[in-house]
Each structure stands twice: as C-alpha cells, then as structure tokens.
Amino acid sequence: MIEKIYLGLILVFFIIAFAIRNIKTFLSTKQSITGKSIKLTISIFISTFIYLLILLRLIILEPKWVLEIELLKYSLLKTIGFVFIFVGFVTGILALVAMKNSWRVGIKYDQKTNLVTKGIYKISRNPYFLSYDILIFGYILIFPSIILIVLYLILVVVFHKMILEEEEYLQKIHNTKYIDYKKRVNRYLTTFINN
C-alpha cells in the first residue's frame, strides 16, 4: 500500500509541478506559452493516456487489463524502477525551476526567450524531456505493461523529433550562443568524467 501511495504521489506531484510552472510563466509573461504542432498534440495525448493508465493501474486496474508481463520474480527490476522514478521526478522539478519565464510548451515562434544554461541545464540540454523518459521508464519497470511499453516508445520518438525541431529554432534565435552551448552540453546527458 505504501508503494502505491509513493508511486501515485510522485506522478501527481510531477503533473502538478508541470501545471504550476505553466501557470506561473503565463502569469509572469501575460502571453500564451503553448506552441502549436502535431508533434506537441501527439505528445500531450500520449502523455495524458500514460498518466491515466498508470493512475488507474495503481487504483483499480488488474495487471491482465493492461497486458502486464509477469516479472514479480525480478524484484531488483522493481527496486530499480523506484530509483528511476525518483531520479526522473527530481530531474523534472529541477528543470522546471531552472527555466523560470523561459518555459514554453512546444515552440512559440513569436516569442524569444532567454537561453537557459544554468543549473540542471549544465548537464542536459533537454532535462525535462529526459526526466519524463526516466520517470515513465521507472513505472514500466514496476508495471511492465505491453501497452505502456508501446506508448512509451512512441512518445520517446515524438519527444526526440520535438527536440530536434527545438534545437533548430534555438540555433536560429540564439545563434553562436546556442552553438557554444551545444558544444559543452549533450542533448540528453553530459558526463564530466575525464578519460
């Protein structure tokens, strides 16, 4: 029961933090912060479906209803899943906080925002997308549902395409500043281990 509460609260707080960041940015800028694209629409639809599926699985759905694969004997996977969920949650919160008023949902071509390179953005150029990937992967390790796995894989591809589009946009807007940033920080994860 405690595990389900933890899993539910993490997911709900992740969603609430996203909503709060959207509201705070909108109130600060007094402008719409949501871009319009088919990729964004698809990602929102799939993300929402994944959230609902996980929440329903925590509350009422039986494993067979979501085509869950039996991995109970692999308790290490479940433990790793809890760690991934925590790391994904913390990464997402740090990304939302660091973005401040530069936060946008999708690309807003009519708005120029500051290039954020501090905080968690020193490690990843896309920590919020990365956080979502890590978080949902953690839930999949705990609830290895075929439906969740398929949705997750589609979403990872859509997110990657959105990131590529955003990189083009940021390079046009911020030019050499963004090019220099790209040289220092990887798209997903930068390690600082000297070889």
pTM for this predicted structure:
0.89
Instruction: Report if residue 32 sits inside a domain.
Output: yes
Instruction: Report if residue 191 sits inside a domain.
Output: no
Of residues 2 and 119, more confidently modeled: 119
Q: Which residues fall within 8 angstroms of residue 168, CB to CB, at 6 or more apart?
A: none
Instruction: Report if residue 37 sits inside a domain.
Output: yes
- Alpha-carbon span 130 to 188, nearest angstrom: 6
What is the pLDDT, as a whole number, of residue 45? 93
Domain count, the chain: 1
Instruction: Find the domain containing 89 and state its range.
Output: 2-184
Instruction: Report if residue 194 sits inside a domain.
Output: no
Rg (CA), the chain: 18
Helices (H), the chain: 2-29, 38-59, 75-99, 127-142, 146-174, 176-184
Banded pLDDT at 129 (limits 50, 70, 90): very high
Banded pLDDT at 72 (limits 50, 70, 90): low
Instruction: Report if residue 44 sits inside a domain.
Output: yes
CATH number at residue 21: 1.20.120.1630
Cα–Cα nearest to 159, from 76, 59, 50: 50
Instruction: Report if residue 172 sits inside a domain.
Output: yes
Name the DSSP letter for residue 30. -
Name the DSSP letter for residue 34. B
What is the pLDDT, as a whole number, of residue 111? 84
What is the pLDDT, as a whole number, of residue 65? 72
Q: Give the long-range contacts of residues 145-148, CB within 8 A, separation 24 or more.
A: 145/53, 145/57, 145/63, 145/66, 145/67, 145/68, 145/69, 146/66, 146/67, 146/68, 146/69, 147/53, 147/66, 147/67, 148/50, 148/53, 148/54, 148/66
Banded pLDDT at 192 (limits 50, 70, 90): low
What is the pLDDT, as a whole number, of residue 194? 42
Tens of pLDDT, residues 77-117: 889 999 999 999 999 999 999 998 888 888 888 888 899 99
Tens of pLDDT, residues 15-62: 999 999 989 888 888 888 888 889 999 999 999 999 999 998 888 867
What is the pLDDT, as a whole number, of residue 42? 93
Instruction: Report if residue 189 sits inside a domain.
Output: no
